[in-house]
């Protein structure tokens, strides 16, 4: 074999249901300056047959002239199709479009069918999923759909269509590579705990729960019973009584199954402990001193070296492979006719239809539940999106079922300040939604994260879609709050304070538009975790108001009587301010300057962001959201620009025309906001993927500064500050934004002057 290809060597591996082949793919990059490690089932239990297939793959790996996708047909005439697929499927990956998959199986009805799409947004624990339960009319005790808890529960996109007929469901799953990476992160965190001398209980916790709390292995693998007692145990009883009593049909986990899962987990822990021992030796040798002797200042060097050594440990990769195999086996209990799979055999979607409500919810809960007695049988962490259609109806609603599409998703988290950006996964839905439902906790109203949503809704021109529901209103108490009116005024006062703060950021016009929401668009809900009784008039009236707002949201808008006229040449100041604000924030986050309000992020989090962007088709990591940040700053300052047109036609609107004028401006803002998502993603992410890969792959001393320098260079190229960063990039960016605003204005019925189509051409993205 050619010496230049000596590293590309396939080998056999024993899999869950037969033999597998493992190899480093010469054409696919992976984190850590490595080639992607591929493990593929061969579909045979015969070792001799499997070895012949591996030998064929080694012939391909030794012949670079055969690696081109154009050679696939030729390869299939000489080699087994399984081996050709193992090599070529990575080069020509499956299309991954989970939204499209769900839309194909269960299309979302719209205005044409008389349906309103309601997007629920709120902080973790605000009660938005509980609110969704009330609208669906699902029993909080016997059905528990969708699931709720005190921690992060909703970690995927959920869409529910209230419609007559049978019950239908479509679940789209995370791709295998992403699941494997989540597992790898958990195994690594567990190993590092052992290396640092942490207790087994902490190592197990870190194995079970991914740092972002979106992926929990114990849901999939079960748990190890802790028979020890603790002085801080809760002497109180569970509010719901025995969960087993409420779910006799679901609690089918036998003692033998629990023991088997616990034994498997013990095996994983022991193997991870062995990896940790090797890792500790290698790191101590690399640092020249025992782990126990490291000081706080040595911590960064330890983490960097530990990660590099772990990626080279074959035992670590084998543990991850076995856990992924174990996870994949959980699909075997499903009706296989309801599963669709990708070319690699990993399930892509699951569908179901039933006229039996109990059977349907029992099956659906397998993909959405957080019910502890079912740990080991749940598939919840693998779900990317969940769409349901059926004859759901609120128990408190008389008449036909409301025509609603309810869209729920992950909570927005309790961010540090109200200027933090809202995830693009949420803001992209603003355009789709007819009603944006901000769910907030009345006991702690309008904290930073909720104010961030208000900022985003107003700046994007979606104020008229906004409805604010204050949950936990029964917890609003105080000696000075004598009655319901006083409690409402107390919460409304917090809303007024938030509105004034937004006015200082976005202008008087934004403040005025939000004030118009009071009182009709502020709703108060109490005790909605229980079935609503007739005497709970407050909540019943609030829900009636919600349904009424949804019906009105799809009424045809009045035609715009006034047209704003703009000169896009005046945009330069808005773009300068926006990009300068964006760069200031990220200079602070990258630790490249002292910027008020922005503390440098730890290097491991910046590194995690580069990995997400470079390898996992994401534009954010936790609260690090460069694309959302650029959208936010551009939208805010462009919104200011749009608020003051050169003139209005046919004449300047009078005071009594304020709402009509606002509606015309909001139409343009909505259009701009939608376009900015594509522009920002293109300029910060898609055009610079190779640079993000380089930024992640830095290792050893000095890598933190090199990574920060590269990220800054990406931002300066993708979103340069006009006049401050001269050059081709700045000119193209300026023109792209001007063209975007011009198109948004004209498509929304406004006018643009001073635009010379002969000399102004849109720059290439």
Q: What is the pLDDT of residues 8-41, one digit of tens each?
A: 899 998 887 789 999 999 988 777 677 888 898 8
Among 208-212, 399-403, 684-688, top mean pLDDT goes to 684-688
- State CA 501 to chain mean position distance: 28
Would you state the pLDDT for residue 671?
Answer: 94
Would you state the pLDDT for residue 613?
Answer: 92
Same domain, 398 and 367: yes
567-575 mean pLDDT: 88
- The candidate with the shortest Cα–Cα distance to 204, out of 254, 255, 136, 262, is 262
- Does residue 436 lie in a domain region? yes
Would you state the pLDDT for residue 32?
Answer: 66
Q: Considering 519, 553, 587, which residue would you say is the last residue of a domain?
A: 553
Q: Are strands 563-567 and 647-649 parallel, antiparallel or unpaired?
A: antiparallel
Q: Considering 553, 588, 603, which residue would you say is the last residue of a domain?
A: 553
689-703 mean pLDDT: 86
Q: Considering 491, 520, 553, which residue would you say is the last residue of a domain?
A: 553
Residues whose CB is less than 8 angstroms from the CB of residue 399 and which lie 6 or more positions away in sequence, other chains included = none
Same domain, 577 and 684: yes
- Does residue 187 lie in a domain region? yes
pLDDT at 323 over 50: yes
Would you state the pLDDT for residue 311?
Answer: 84
pLDDT at 237 over 70: no
- State CA 701 to chain mean position distance: 32
Would you state the pLDDT for residue 248?
Answer: 40
User: What's the total number of domains in the chain?
Assistant: 4
Would you state the pLDDT for residue 246?
Answer: 41
SS3 content of the chain, % helix, strand, coil (to 5): 50, 15, 35
Termini Cα distance of the chain:
43
Residue 564, helix vs strand vs coil:
strand
676-690 mean pLDDT: 94
Stronger pLDDT, 756 or 57, i.e. the higher one: 57
- Does residue 537 lie in a domain region? yes
CA torsion angle for 563, 568, 572, 573 (degrees, to 10)? -20
Same domain, 350 and 436: yes
465-475 mean pLDDT: 94
- Does residue 764 lie in a domain region? no
Distance, CA of 227 to CA of 377 (rounded, Å): 22
Among 411-420, 602-611, 706-715, top mean pLDDT goes to 706-715
Would you state the pLDDT for residue 504?
Answer: 86
Distance, CA of 157 to CA of 730 (rounded, Å): 37
The residues pairing with 390 across neighbouring beta strands, listed in sequence order, are 162
470-480 mean pLDDT: 89
pLDDT at 703 over 80: yes
Cβ atoms of 471 and 126 closer than 8 Å: yes
- Does residue 220 lie in a domain region? yes
Would you state the pLDDT for residue 17?
Answer: 78
Distance, CA of 135 to CA of 742 (rounded, Å): 41
Residue with tokens 């502890």: 372
CA torsion angle for 601, 603, 605, 611 (degrees, to 10)? 140
Q: Are strands 751-753 and 116-122 parallel, antiparallel or unpaired?
A: unpaired
Return the minimum-mean-pLDDT range out of 500-504, 611-615, 638-642, 725-729.
Answer: 725-729
Same domain, 522 and 591: no
The pTM of the full predicted model, rounded to 2 decimals, is: 0.87
Same domain, 84 and 110: no
Stronger pLDDT, 628 or 254, i.e. the higher one: 628
Cβ atoms of 505 and 516 closer than 8 Å: no
608-622 mean pLDDT: 88
Same domain, 693 and 580: yes
Instruction: Give the CA distances from residue 112 to residues 100, 115, 674, in Å, rounded to whole numbers and listed in that order.
Output: 20, 7, 22
Same domain, 299 and 392: no
DSSP character string of 445-471: -S-HHHHHHHHHHHHTT-GGGEEEEEE
- Does residue 625 lie in a domain region? yes
The answer, yes or no, to whether the previous bond of 645 is cis (omega within 30 of 0) is no
The Cβ-side half-sphere exposure at 69, using a 13 Å CA radius, reads: 7
Residue 97 has which token pair?
């479009």
Confidence of residue 229 (pLDDT cuts 50, 70, 90): very low
Would you state the pLDDT for residue 235?
Answer: 44
pLDDT at 670 over 80: yes
Stronger pLDDT, 109 or 241, i.e. the higher one: 109
Distance, CA of 736 to CA of 165 (rounded, Å): 48
Could you read off the pLDDT of 238-281 as tens digits, one per residue?
A: 444 333 434 444 456 788 888 889 999 999 999 999 999 998 88
Cβ atoms of 18 and 43 closer than 8 Å: yes
- Does residue 240 lie in a domain region? no
Could you read off the pLDDT of 574-592 as tens digits, one per residue?
A: 999 999 999 999 999 999 8
Residue with tokens 């000489």: 78
Same domain, 506 and 655: no
Would you state the pLDDT for residue 55?
Answer: 94
Distance, CA of 371 to CA of 248 (rounded, Å): 12
Would you state the pLDDT for residue 725?
Answer: 65
Residues whose CB is less than 8 angstroms from the CB of residue 628 and which lie 6 or more positions away in sequence, other chains included = 421, 422, 423, 424, 427, 619, 620
Cβ atoms of 710 and 691 closer than 8 Å: yes
pLDDT at 720 over 70: yes
Average per-residue pLDDT for the chain: 86
Distance, CA of 95 to CA of 348 (rounded, Å): 10
Distance, CA of 75 to CA of 84 (rounded, Å): 7
pLDDT at 3 over 50: no
Would you state the pLDDT for residue 589?
Answer: 92
Stronger pLDDT, 653 or 42, i.e. the higher one: 42
Q: What is the H or E stretch that residue 585 is in?
A: helix 571-589
Would you state the pLDDT for residue 296?
Answer: 62
Distance, CA of 517 to CA of 508 (rounded, Å): 15
- Does residue 110 lie in a domain region? yes
Count the neighbouring beta carbons within 10 Å of the beta carbon of residue 375: 22
pLDDT at 550 over 60: yes
Same domain, 572 and 438: no
Would you state the pLDDT for residue 492?
Answer: 94
Same domain, 667 and 526: no
Residue 394, helix vs strand vs coil:
coil
- The candidate with the shortest Cα–Cα distance to 578, out of 421, 365, 703, is 421
Domain that holds residue 46: 3-91
Could you read off the pLDDT of 292-315 as tens digits, one per residue?
A: 666 666 666 777 788 888 888 889
Return the minimum-mean-pLDDT range out of 95-109, 203-217, 431-445.
Answer: 203-217
Same domain, 21 and 129: no
Would you state the pLDDT for residue 150?
Answer: 53
Report the percent of the chain where pLDDT is more than 70: 89
407-423 mean pLDDT: 70
Same domain, 547 and 570: no
Cβ atoms of 470 and 525 closer than 8 Å: yes
Would you state the pLDDT for residue 419?
Answer: 55
Count the neighbouring beta carbons within 10 Å of the beta carbon of residue 357: 15
The Cβ-side half-sphere exposure at 211, using a 13 Å CA radius, reads: 13
pLDDT at 655 over 80: no
pLDDT at 424 over 80: yes
Would you state the pLDDT for residue 226?
Answer: 55
Would you state the pLDDT for residue 241?
Answer: 37
| 547: CATH | 3.40.50.300
Could you read off the pLDDT of 186-206 as tens digits, one per residue?
A: 999 999 999 888 899 999 999
């Amino acid at each position: 074999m050619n010496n230049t290809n000596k590293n590309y060597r396939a080998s056999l591996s024993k899999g869950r249901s037969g033999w597998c082949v493992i190899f480093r793919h010469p054409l696919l990059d992976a984190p850590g300056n490595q080639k992607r490690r591929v493990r593929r089932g061969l579909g045979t239990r015969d070792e001799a047959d499997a070895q012949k297939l591996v030998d064929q793959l080694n012939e391909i790996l030794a012949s670079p002239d055969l690696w081109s996708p154009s050679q696939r047909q030729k390869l299939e005439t000489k080699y087994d199709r399984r081996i050709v697929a193992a090599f070529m499927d990575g080069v020509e990956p499956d299309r991954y479009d989970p939204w499209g998959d769900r839309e194909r199986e269960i299309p979302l009805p719209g205005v044409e069918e008389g349906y309103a799409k309601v997007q629920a947004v709120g902080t973790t624990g605000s009660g938005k999923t509980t609110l969704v339960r009330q609208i669906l009319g699902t029993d909080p005790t016997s059905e528990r759909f969708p699931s709720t808890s005190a921690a992060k529960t909703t970690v995927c996109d959920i869409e529910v269509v209230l419609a007559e007929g049978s019950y239908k469901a479509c679940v789209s799953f995370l791709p295998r590579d992403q699941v494997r990476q989540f597992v790898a992160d958990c195994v690594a965190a567990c190993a590092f705990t052992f290396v640092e001398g942490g207790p087994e209980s902490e190592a197990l916790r870190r194995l079970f729960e991914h740092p972002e709390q979106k992926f929990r292995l114990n849901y999939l693998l079960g748990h190890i019973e802790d028979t020890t007692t603790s002085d801080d145990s809760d002497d109180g009883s569970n509010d719901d009584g025995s969960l087993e009593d409420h779910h006799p049909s679901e609690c089918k986990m036998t003692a033998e199954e629990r023991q088997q899962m616990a034994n498997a987990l013990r095996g994983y822990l022991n193997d991870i402990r062995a990896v940790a021992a090797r890792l500790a030796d290698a790191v101590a040798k690399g640092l020249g001193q025992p782990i126990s002797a490291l000081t706080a200042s040595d911590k960064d060097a330890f983490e960097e070296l530990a990660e590099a050594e772990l990626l080279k440990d074959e035992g670590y990769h084998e543990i991850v492979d076995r856990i992924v195999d174990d996870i994949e086996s959980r699909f075997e209990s499903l009706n296989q006719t309801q599963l669709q799979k990708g070319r690699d055999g990993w399930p892509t979607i699951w569908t179901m239809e039933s006229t039996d409500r109990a059977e349907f919810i029992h099956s659906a809960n397998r993909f959405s539940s957080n019910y502890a007695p079912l740990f080991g049988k749940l598939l919840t962490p693998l779900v990317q999106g969940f769409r349901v259609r059926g004859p759901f109806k609120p128990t408190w609603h008389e008449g036909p079922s409301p025509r609603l599409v309810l869209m729920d998703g992950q909570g927005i988290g309790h961010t540090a300040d109200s200027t933090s950006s809202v995830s693009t996964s949420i803001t992209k839905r603003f355009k789709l939604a007819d009603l944006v439902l901000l769910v907030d906790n009345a006991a702690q109203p309008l904290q930073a994260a909720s104010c961030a949503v208000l900022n985003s809704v107003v700046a994007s021109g979606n104020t008229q879609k906004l409805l604010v529901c204050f949950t936990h209103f029964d917890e609003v108490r105080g000696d000075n709050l004598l009655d319901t009116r006083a409690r409402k005024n107390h919460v409304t006062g917090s809303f007024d304070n938030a509105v004034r703060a937004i006015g200082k950021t976005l202008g008087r016009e934004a403040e005025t538009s939000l004030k118009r929401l009071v009182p009709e668009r502020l709703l108060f809900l109490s005790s909605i975790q229980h079935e609503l009784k007739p005497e709970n008039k407050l909540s019943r009236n609030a829900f009636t108001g919600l349904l009424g707002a949804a019906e009105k949201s799809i009424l045809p808008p009045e035609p715009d009587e006034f047209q704003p006229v703009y000169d896009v040449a005046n945009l330069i100041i808005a773009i300068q301010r926006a990009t300068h604000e964006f760069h200031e924030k990220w200079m602070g986050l990258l630790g490249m300057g002292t910027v008020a309000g922005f503390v440098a992020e730890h290097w491991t989090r910046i590194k995690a962001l580069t990995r997400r962007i470079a390898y996992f088709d994401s534009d954010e990591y936790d609260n690090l959201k460069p694309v959302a940040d650029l959208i936010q700053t551009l939208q805010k300052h462009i919104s200011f620009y749009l608020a003051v047109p050169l003139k209005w036609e046919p004449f300047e609107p009078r005071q009594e025309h304020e709402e009509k004028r606002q509606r015309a401006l909001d139409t343009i803002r909505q259009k701009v906001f939608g376009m900015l998502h594509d522009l920002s993603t293109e300029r910060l992410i898609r055009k610079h993927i190779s640079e993000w890969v380089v930024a992640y792959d830095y290792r050893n001393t000095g890598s933190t500064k090199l990574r920060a320098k590269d990220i800054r260079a990406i931002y300066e190229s993708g979103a340069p500050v006009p006049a401050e960063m001269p050059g081709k990039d700045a000119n193209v960016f300026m023109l792209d934004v001007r063209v975007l605003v011009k198109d948004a204005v004209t498509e929304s019925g406004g006018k643009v002057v001073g635009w010379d189509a002969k000399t102004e051409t849109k720059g290439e993205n």
